[in-house]
Amino acid sequence: MAWVGRYEDLVEGRQGQYRVRLMDNHRGADCAYPPVEILPDGTIVTTTYGHWIEGEAPFIVSVRFRMGELDARAAKKVTKKERHGRTK
């Protein structure tokens, strides 16, 4: 789970802008807290292990994304919810 917000949100106990599930671990809590690296071009990379395919052994995976990609997806979800009358 990635949290997106501002430092002030953390200090003041606010929820931030949004949260996003980067991958779905299929076996309870058997996964790690991944390190996060920001590359010179702004790409964010996170690497961790977990049970990413149901019924298979755990393995290591990296996820790469840019904040613009997450913001665009979050905006689409908000718009979709608004169209269906859900704004919470």
52 belongs to a structural domain: yes
The answer to whether position 18 is within a domain reads: no
Assigned domain for 57 exists:
yes
Evaluate whether residue 5 is within a structural domain.
no
Domain extent for 64: 24-88
Cβ-defined contacts of 6-15 (< 8 Å, 24+): none
Q: What is the pLDDT of residues 32-58, one digit of tens each?
A: 677 889 999 999 999 988 888 888 888
Q: How many domains does the chain have?
A: 1
pLDDT bin (cut points 50, 70, 90) of residue 80 is low
- Our separate counts of H helices and E strands in the chain read 2, 5
Q: Residue 45 domain-assigned?
A: yes
Residue 19: inside a domain, yes or no? Answer: no
Please state the pTM of the whole predicted model: 0.68
